[in-house]
Amino acid sequence: MGMPSMPELLVILAIVVLLFGAKKIPDLAKGMGKGIKDFKKAIRDDDEEVAKAKEIKQDETKEAVTETKEKVKKA
């Protein structure tokens, strides 16, 4: 069973139009597009938060190493 042929696609399209109506289809597509856009934005925001957390952790580690070096020099 491969790709549907043109007549099969037209039948599927006709069924979708009958079920949802011609006015609802653009709204459905718009809603799906907005959902995908929001999902991508959430992923991007999450990646930025992870990068910031890593940067903070690295800064804290560098500070700890510097403090330890200073303590060793004093001893």
Per residue in 32-63, pLDDT (tens digit) is 999 999 999 999 999 999 999 999 998 889 88
Q: Looking at residue 74, what is its pLDDT?
A: 80
In a domain, 70, yes or no: yes
In a domain, 34, yes or no: yes
In a domain, 23, yes or no: yes
In a domain, 1, yes or no: no
- Residue 69 tokens, joined: 């070096």
Q: What percent of the chain has pLDDT over 70?
A: 97
Q: What is the pTM of this model?
A: 0.52
Mean per-residue pLDDT for 3-27?
88
4, 12 contact by CB (below 8 A)? yes
How many structural domains is the chain composed of?
A: 1
12 pLDDT higher than 70? yes
1 pLDDT higher than 90? no
